[in-house]
Structure 1
Amino acid sequence: MKNHFAIAKEELGFYGFENTSLQNLLAVLIGPKANPVVTGQLSSLGVKRLSSLSKEELLQYEGIGESTADRIIACIGLAGLLNKFKFEECYIVRSPEDAAKYMADMSTLDQEHFEVLFLNSKNVVIGRKTIFKGSLNASIVHPREIFREAVKLSAASIIAGHNHPSGDPYPSREDIEVTKRLSEAGKLVGIDLLDHIIIGHQGNFTSLKEKGYC
């Protein structure tokens, strides 16, 4: 009689990952020792809850060792990156709302992240880079590093963005200073700063373009 792993492998091979159940995808990841009771428990959590489990939480399940937990976490991480890449490939920024929606994942971060979106001449996002993590300070945001990356990607323009962990997107003096500095540098190199978006909680954001700072 075929075991859980063998059946799951057959399903994956015949139907492809799009039509393979989450339980059987987990069985393939776990390997020959996959226990249908455990994969059933994990799959019943749903993709969203499963993706939030830490390694320590995964290890609480019978038959899940460190290497298996690492594989599950790596697989979930890879799926997230692929989804993000697919999103980037066709995302057009037509307004501050579009930029804020694209960077909405920053709203849940408990530390400030300063990121830059790189756009082509049609305002399609062609890249995204985290410049630094920590409290925003004009002295540590180097236009040279940002615009070097923009030139490397042949970007026509950029959009800066950072989050306020407090949830209040009201711009600080440092926010305004950084925006003006990047705007001036962009004019010198011919790569416009289209906007600087401050991400708050629950969809709230501030566009420094709309406030006249870039």
Structure 2
Amino acid sequence: METSLYVTIKEMAEDERPREKLTKFGVNTLSNAELLAILIRTGTKNISAINLAQSILSINKEGLRFLADCNVDELSKIKGIGVSKACQIIAAIELGKRLSLNNKQNIQGIKSPKDISALFMEEMRYYKKEYFKILLLNTKNEIISSETISIGSLNSSLVHPREVFVNAIRKSAACIILIHNHPSGNPKPSEEDIQITKRLIESGKIIGIDVLDHIIIGDGSYCSLKELSII
């Protein structure tokens, strides 16, 4: 008779079980797979929640980063992960993203490009597509809101001044900051980035809403066109 190497979480030592480990030693002691296993809750007949979590993290070379921008369809195609488990994972990831952005409301005023990077880096560094956003500011450089203008490769056909400034006018913004990400992870501005920025600056002058900067988000690094003296 063949001996099974499959070990369920219940068969593990109590201190090694993810939930018990979290309760006794704290969440920081858990590995990524253990945290994911808690979200998954149960495995399948032949694989534990931890092993299932490990298989999810290993299906893409980006590991944990893969989960940051995946969707329900991608996850539910993984053996052992149905729509229900996929939704649980996606919901938890979205909560994490919103939590990282929650401190926007507590910022008294934007003082430097570094402030912008701190607000948007963890949200935008993992995007697989280019997201173009604007940050609306009042006369004290306090944040009014952030708006997503377009999703996809940044070009002049997608980023029209009308779409950029309509909410800025509606919300009485004094100025705006342009923000977009480079999925490659390299924040170096392209010629297209520079030309679009200059076009929007000129449009802003006509409307009376200044474009203070354009921040490009990479993977753990950013670029400010203002700091580079490009604008």
- Which amino acid in structure 2 is aligned with residue 113 of structure 1? Y
The structural deviation recorded for 1:183 is: 0.8
Please state how far the C-alpha of 1:144 moved relative to its aligned partner: 0.9
Query: Matched residues in 2 for 1:42 and 1:154: separation?
Result: 50
Shift of 1:39: 7.9
Matching residue within 127, 148, 152 for 1:130? 148
Superimposed CA distance per residue, residues 151-190 of structure 1 (whole angstroms, 9 cap, x where no aligned partner): 2233221111122233332222211111111111111222
Cα distance change, pair 97–40 in 1 and its aligned pair in 2 (3 A) = same
Residue aligning to 1:175: 193
Alignment of 1:91-130 (within 5 A): 91=107, 92-105=109-122, 106-130=124-148
Q: 1:68 to 1:166 in 2, by over 3 A?
A: closer
TM-score by length of 2: 0.61
CA 1:41–1:173 in 2, change beyond 3 Å: closer, same or farther?
A: closer
TM-score norm. by structure 1 comes to 0.65
Partners of 1:39 and 1:115 in 2: how far apart?
37
**Aligned pairs for 1:67-78 within 5 A:** 68-69=84-85, 72-73=88-89, 75-77=91-93
Change (3 A) 1:39 1:195: same
* CA–CA separation in structure 2 for the residues paired with 1:138 and 1:68: 40
- Aligned in 2, Cα 1:126/1:84: closer, same or farther, shift over 3 Å? farther
The 8 Å contact of residues 39 and 88 in structure 2, kept in 1 or not, is answered as: no
Note the 1:189-200 alignment, pairs <5 A.
189-200=207-218
Does structure 2 retain, via aligned residues, the 8 Å contact 1:90–1:124? no
**Distance in 1 between residues matched to 2:185 and 2:94, nearest whole Å:** 29
Q: For 1:176 and 1:101, how far apart are their aligned partners in 2? A: 22
Task: For 1:94 and 1:136, locate their aligned partners in 2 and report how far apart those are by CA, in whole Å.
Answer: 26
Mark the CA change 1:134 to 1:67 in structure 2 (over 3 Å): closer, same or farther: closer
The unaligned stretches of length 5 or more in structure 1 are: 1-21, 31-37, 44-48
Q: Quote how far apart the aligned CAs of 1:191 are.
A: 1.5
Does the 8 Å CA contact 2:40/2:85 hold for their aligned counterparts? Answer: no
Report the Cα distance in structure 2 between the residues aligned to 1:170 and 1:75, rounded to whole angstroms. Answer: 32
2:157 aligned counterpart, secondary structure: helix
Distance 1:144 1:71, change over 3 A: same
User: Distance between the aligned counterparts of 2:196 and 2:182, measured in 1?
Assistant: 15
Quickly say closer, same or farther: Cα 1:158–1:40, change in 2 above 3 A: same
Q: Is the 8 A contact 1:195 1:207 kept in 2?
A: yes
Larger RCO (alpha carbons 8 Å, 6+ apart): 1
Q: Counterparts of 1:1-214 in structure 2 under 5 Å?
A: 52=67, 55-56=75-76, 66=82, 68-69=84-85, 72-73=88-89, 75-77=91-93, 79-80=95-96, 82-84=98-100, 86-91=102-107, 92-105=109-122, 106-203=124-221, 205-214=222-231
Instruction: Give the conservation status (yes or no) of the 8 Å contact 2:174–2:209.
Output: yes
Indicate if the aligned counterparts of 1:90 and 1:125 stay in contact, CA closer than 8 A: no
Structure 2, unaligned runs of 5 or more: 1-34, 43-47, 54-63
